A and B are shown apart, each in its own frame.
Chain A
């Protein structure tokens, strides 16, 4: 994308007014998507975007500039702008050497291959999904299927001599269905997303996704209103990982912690969760949605244990926050695009499986709610209060899963809910999601095995 001698000159220019650290982050992203809706291929879209963001750190001060012009002249102009904040910082000529070997890359299992699928292949998948969803039941009144793929190449160079590159191909496929019945309309949604190219479809059956989405919508046609009040809740493996993403993941991001805007600040070494909880954030897992080779600061993705047997062991770190604490980044510096400064972000966040049997957990719950699928959530890191919404849930009566329930949010307080986990099963799985923070979205994974919370407030309409 940019030759090494050019990067060296740009970094030197960035430090011309002084400064402790300079960085160039360059990105070239191309994407395409197709949407089938109401039985028609309505939209094929393609996009291309490339540019670079340049940072200069001088003491406590960081300067940032970005440009869509990747010529040496364009980059030097951005470097000059970024370096303006370092005025009076002991300028002079400083040479940055990046070494002769070219960018470091990280080999990954499930390594990204370039996207090989053609537009026609994508359209065929959409048509197959549409057909499978409509065949799932006469109640299915509408189907929308979407395909999207992107290739993102990043190049990061900094004045510490780091030179790293990564290529991230990501592909997603989603199906959403509407079912129409006597009680009105209900919806079902299912998505598959991996850090892969078209090979996603070697692993994922679009018909299976479509049938799952359709069956959710159909099941909810006969759903009764969700209960209100506090009940035991069993979360099925997979999307239940959103609980940990919201209930504690965000609160363990060092930027919230250093501003004392997290309920987990100052609690390393303390018991913050049930001893059944061992929580990991790991950007190296296979081809999960939150997986990458190096983060957006050039640090290789790594496995970080955040909570071990209920005890808080560490937070998540990016370069700047780690530097302040005299430690190294945990590989969690991520950004939406070259236009954004990196922040501390999660990658794939999951609860390690336990040793209970998933069916037994349900059988030993006299009355409660079984959440087969969670839709999304939100947290206030300063108070720990969070919500997460069900998109497929059932009542548990006398230890058996019975009637489907209409969608509802569950509400709780992170530190309290983490202590109420009394069973974790072995049936681990992961689910993809999009995490939003301060206006930037990044792909993440969540995961857990079937587990039970002794009590959570359910926000249904039934009294």
Chain B
């Protein structure tokens, strides 16, 4: 089957961020005396091509646009959004946000961001060339990825998806409290997912390559990762139970850091939903653990000049030498904690409201400068994990309980040995931070809010046969 999706031209992005800023300013200008209004407008274009059995299964080229408005009256906050920038919806959306504000609880800490004088570090996240890449070249790249993946290894019995995708997005934010910011960003990716078979056994693997645009995407990297992940798991059995050091590959390390990040939210802390609450200045991790969120690093996937309230993004040290240094705040959670915003507001598009969160977490690499092989050699014996399941059902960032499904390979004499599957890995997040044994220097900025770097964590409980 093959599927093609085309965008319609009417809503196509192209007016640029100036046009969005002007629109946001116009709506913010409708604020009444005694109320503050914040207007967020966003517009995006995306293309996705999926190849299957030598044909284009789907070609999606879609646009979307929308507006989200926050109104604060007498310390009461209301919000409304619409999935359109059509002139006919703007006034109604503002009126609805205003009506919602009337029902909220008055709270002295509630208010919009005010410019704090911190200069923004401009990060160039826009690839001008992307808009000029013909759709035919994108299709060709996806078909090439699929064909080469099928041919890469005789044990690949299915390529269930081989995708090319790109996204261009623009946003503007204007408030009556003096905020005026805009941003634009492009990104591109290739991703492929395979099923390897050998006799009755099947195993799966996925790989990808990401960049700011079309150029630089590397099909070989995506397919070799997918193929090797699937093939090396063939013959996997349920591994042995016991206590072990676990090495998480770079992709899994990104997932782990993302979970820890929710406990570093100033809002979670203020509301007693973080195991870090009340522990600033204490040793919460191994001495080798230094964790920083720095969205001004342009290499980071989540890099940004401005946060979701229009303040400059900045570098925030969270844990240094295992000692908890602080949390990430937006305006409201900062006020609640008696501190200023750390420029860390994030939001999930025009339909969401801002809250504090990480964009670009990294761990300081260990002094040995290990890559993955170096970490494995240093660990000697243990379990190497390349895939985790049940992260949303088995990890609780409030209690810290951690129990997830895992696939990977045993580590013997510092090298990868036989594959294992259908096992669980368990501990608590608190204990895992203290049991950090190695942090690789093999930093790779993967999609998400944290860098990928090989991690070794000691004393985890493996449940298997």
**A residues engaging B (CB < 8 A)?**
34, 37-51, 60-69, 74, 77-78, 81-82, 84-85, 119-120, 123, 141-142, 178, 180, 184-187, 220, 226, 228-230, 259-261, 263, 320, 324, 339, 341, 374-378, 380, 382-383, 385-389, 406-409, 411-413, 457-463
Extra A-B contacts (15), CB below 8 Å, given A62-B58, A378-B393, A411-B463? A43-B104, A46-B79, A46-B97, A48-B92, A61-B4, A64-B4, A66-B62, A68-B11, A78-B8, A84-B6, A185-B275, A375-B393, A386-B405, A462-B461, A463-B461
Shortest Cβ distance from residue A189 to the other chain B in the assembled complex, whole angstroms = 10
Residues of B91-146 at the interface with A, using a CB-CB cut-off of 8 Å, are: 92-93, 96-97, 99-101, 103-105, 107, 110
Residues of B within 8 A of A259 (CB): 52, 158, 160
Residues of A within 8 A of B427 (CB): 461
Selected from B65, B77, B195, the residue in CB contact (under 8 A) with A42 is: B77
Q: Check if B8 sits within 8 Å of A43, measured CB to CB.
A: no
Residues of A within 8 A of B177 (CB): none
Residues of A within 8 A of B103 (CB): 34, 41, 44, 119-120, 123
Q: Check if B55 sits within 8 Å of A60, measured CB to CB.
A: yes
Q: Does B369 contact A (CB under 8 A)?
A: no
Residues of B188-246 at the interface with A, using a CB-CB cut-off of 8 Å, are: 195, 202-204, 238, 241-243
Alpha-carbon distance between A184 and B5 when the two chains are bound, in angstroms: 51
Q: Does B259 contact A (CB under 8 A)?
A: no
Q: Check if A41 sits within 8 Å of B105, measured CB to CB.
A: yes
Point out which of A85, A228, A386 has the most chain B C-beta atoms below 10 A from its C-beta: A228
Q: Check if A46 sits within 8 Å of B8, measured CB to CB.
A: no
Residues of A within 8 A of B396 (CB): 187, 407
Alpha-carbon distance between A51 and B99 when the two chains are bound, in angstroms: 25
Q: Check if A62 sits within 8 Å of B107, measured CB to CB.
A: no
Residues of B within 8 A of A142 (CB): 271-273
Alpha-carbon distance between A229 and B424 when the two chains are bound, in angstroms: 9
Alpha-carbon distance between A51 and B64 when the two chains are bound, in angstroms: 11
Shortest Cβ distance from residue B56 to the other chain A in the assembled complex, whole angstroms = 8
Q: Does B415 contact A (CB under 8 A)?
A: no
Top 5 closest A-B pairs, CB basis? A459-B424, A389-B393, A387-B390, A49-B83, A228-B463
Residues of A within 8 A of B8 (CB): 65-67, 69, 74, 77-78, 81
Alpha-carbon distance between A65 and B60 when the two chains are bound, in angstroms: 8
Selected from B158, B271, B426, the residue in CB contact (under 8 A) with A460 is: B426
Residues 318-354 of chain B: 1 if any A CB is under 8 Å from the residue's CB, otherwise 0? 0000000000000000000000000000000001010
Residues of A within 8 A of B425 (CB): 459
Q: A47-B83, A180-B272, A460-B463 are in contact. Are A407 and B105 (CB under 8 A)?
A: no
Q: Check if B275 sits within 8 Å of A67, measured CB to CB.
A: no
Residues of B414-441 at the interface with A, using a CB-CB cut-off of 8 Å, are: 421-428
Residues of B within 8 A of A383 (CB): 202-204, 421
Residues of A within 8 A of B403 (CB): 226, 389, 407-409, 459-461
Residues of B within 8 A of A459 (CB): 394, 403-405, 423-426, 461, 463
Q: Check if A261 sits within 8 Å of B394, measured CB to CB.
A: no
Residues of B250-276 at the interface with A, using a CB-CB cut-off of 8 Å, are: 270-273, 275
Alpha-carbon distance between A377 and B391 when the two chains are bound, in angstroms: 9
Closest to B463 in A: A228
Alpha-carbon distance between A190 and B101 when the two chains are bound, in angstroms: 27
Residues of A within 8 A of B86 (CB): 68
Q: Check if A411 sits within 8 Å of B424, measured CB to CB.
A: yes
Q: A48-B89, A378-B389 are in contact. Are A387 and B404 (CB under 8 A)?
A: yes
Residues of B within 8 A of A120 (CB): 103
Alpha-carbon distance between A411 and B422 when the two chains are bound, in angstroms: 6
Category for how many chain B residues contact A: 35 or more
Shortest Cβ distance from residue B226 to the other chain A in the assembled complex, whole angstroms = 13
Shortest Cβ distance from residue B288 to the other chain A in the assembled complex, whole angstroms = 23
Q: Check if B399 sits within 8 Å of A184, measured CB to CB.
A: yes
Secondary structure call for the A interface:
strand
Selected from B6, B84, B421, B428, the residue in CB contact (under 8 A) with A385 is: B421
Q: Check if B78 sits within 8 Å of A389, measured CB to CB.
A: no
Selected from A37, A85, A389, the residue in CB contact (under 8 A) with B394 is: A389
Selected from B3, B238, B392, the residue in CB contact (under 8 A) with A61 is: B3
Selected from B1, B6, B11, B65, the residue in CB contact (under 8 A) with A60 is: B1
Q: Check if A67 sits within 8 Å of B11, measured CB to CB.
A: yes
Alpha-carbon distance between A119 and B97 when the two chains are bound, in angstroms: 13
Q: Does B445 contact A (CB under 8 A)?
A: no
Shortest Cβ distance from residue B349 to the other chain A in the assembled complex, whole angstroms = 11
Can you give 25 A-B contacts (C-beta < 8 A)?
A: A43-B79, A43-B353, A47-B80, A47-B81, A60-B1, A60-B2, A62-B3, A77-B9, A178-B272, A228-B462, A259-B52, A260-B195, A261-B195, A378-B393, A387-B394, A389-B393, A389-B394, A408-B424, A411-B390, A457-B464, A459-B425, A461-B403, A461-B426, A463-B241, A463-B243
Residues of B within 8 A of A375 (CB): 393-394
Q: Check if A42 sits within 8 Å of B105, measured CB to CB.
A: yes
Alpha-carbon distance between A126 and B345 when the two chains are bound, in angstroms: 26
Alpha-carbon distance between A383 and B235 when the two chains are bound, in angstroms: 12
Q: Check if B83 sits within 8 Å of A84, measured CB to CB.
A: no
Closest to B271 in A: A38
Residues of A within 8 A of B393 (CB): 374-378, 387-389, 409
Residues of B within 8 A of A60 (CB): 1-2, 55
Q: Check if B398 sits within 8 Å of A63, measured CB to CB.
A: no
Q: Does B179 contact A (CB under 8 A)?
A: no
Q: Check if A228 sits within 8 Å of B424, measured CB to CB.
A: yes
Residues 268-298 of chain B: 1 if any A CB is under 8 Å from the residue's CB, otherwise 0? 0011110100000000000000000000000
Alpha-carbon distance between A324 and B2 when the two chains are bound, in angstroms: 12
Alpha-carbon distance between A374 and B270 when the two chains are bound, in angstroms: 28
Closest to A119 in B: B103
Closest to A320 in B: B1
Residues of A within 8 A of B364 (CB): none
Q: Check if B84 sits within 8 Å of A341, measured CB to CB.
A: no
Shortest Cβ distance from residue B43 to the other chain A in the assembled complex, whole angstroms = 12
Q: Check if B423 sits within 8 Å of A457, measured CB to CB.
A: yes
Shortest Cβ distance from residue A319 to the other chain B in the assembled complex, whole angstroms = 12
Q: Check if A378 sits within 8 Å of B2, measured CB to CB.
A: no
Closest to A67 in B: B8
Point out which of B8, B105, B160, B423 has the most chain A C-beta atoms below 10 A from its C-beta: B8
Q: A62-B1, A385-B421 are in contact. Are A380 and B389 (CB under 8 A)?
A: yes
Residues of B within 8 A of A377 (CB): 390, 393
